[in-house]
A = this chain, B = another copy of it.
Amino acid sequence: MNSNLSTTIQELSSPESYNRVYHEPNHGMPMPSVEAIKEMVTLLREIILPGYFGVDSINEEVIQYHTGVNVEKLYDMLSEQIKRGLCFDCNMSFVEKTRCEGCERKARNIAGAFIQKLPEIRRMLSTDIQAAYNGDPAARSIGEVIFCYPTVKVLLNYRAAHALVKLGVPLLPRMISELAHSETGIDIHPEAQIGEYFCIDHGTGVVIGATSIIGNNVKLYQGVTLGAKNFPLDDEGNPIKGIARHPIVGDNVIIYANATILGRITIGEGAVIGGNMWITHDVEPGAKAV
> B-contacting residues of A (Cβ < 8 Å)?
1-13, 15, 17-18, 20-25, 28-34, 47-53, 56-69, 71-72, 75, 84, 88-89, 108-109, 112, 115-116, 118-119, 122-123, 125-126, 129-130, 134-144, 146-150, 170-171, 174-175, 177-178, 181-185, 187, 189, 191, 202, 204-205, 207, 209-210, 221-223, 225, 227-228, 231, 238-243, 245, 257-258, 260, 262, 275-276, 278
Residues from chain B with Cβ under 8 Å of A258 in the complex? 223, 225, 258, 260
B112 adjacent to A1 (CB under 8 Å): yes
Known: A12-B47, A21-B48, A134-B238. 4 other contacts (CB 8 A): A15-B60, A25-B57, A207-B222, A207-B257
Copy number in this complex? 6
Residues of B within 8 A of A257 (CB): 207, 225, 227, 260
Alpha-carbon distance between A135 and B170 when the two chains are bound, in angstroms: 20
Contact, CB under 8 Å: A150 / B138: no
In angstroms, how far is the closest chain B Cβ from the Cβ of A171? 6
Residues of B contacting A136 in the complex (Cβ-Cβ under 8 angstroms): 239
Contact present for A18 and B50 (CB under 8 Å): yes
Given A5-B115, A185-B205, A240-B137, check contact A122 B64 (CB 8 Å): no
Query: How far apart sit A213 and B115, CA to CA, in the bound complex (Å)?
Result: 47
Contact of B182 with A18 in the complex, beta carbons under 8 Å: no
Top 8 nearest A-B pairs by Cβ distance? A65-B68, A20-B126, A13-B64, A30-B57, A30-B56, A137-B239, A148-B178, A138-B210
A227: chain B residues at CB < 8 Å are 221, 257
Question: Quick check: A13 and B63 within 8 Å, CB to CB?
Answer: yes
Asked, given contacts A143-B171, A260-B275, whether A119 binds B12 with beta carbons under 8 Å apart, the answer is yes
Residue on B nearest A65 in the bound complex, by CB: B68
Q: Are B12 and A118 in contact (CB under 8 A)?
A: yes
Whether A119 contacts B48 by the Cβ 8 Å rule is: no
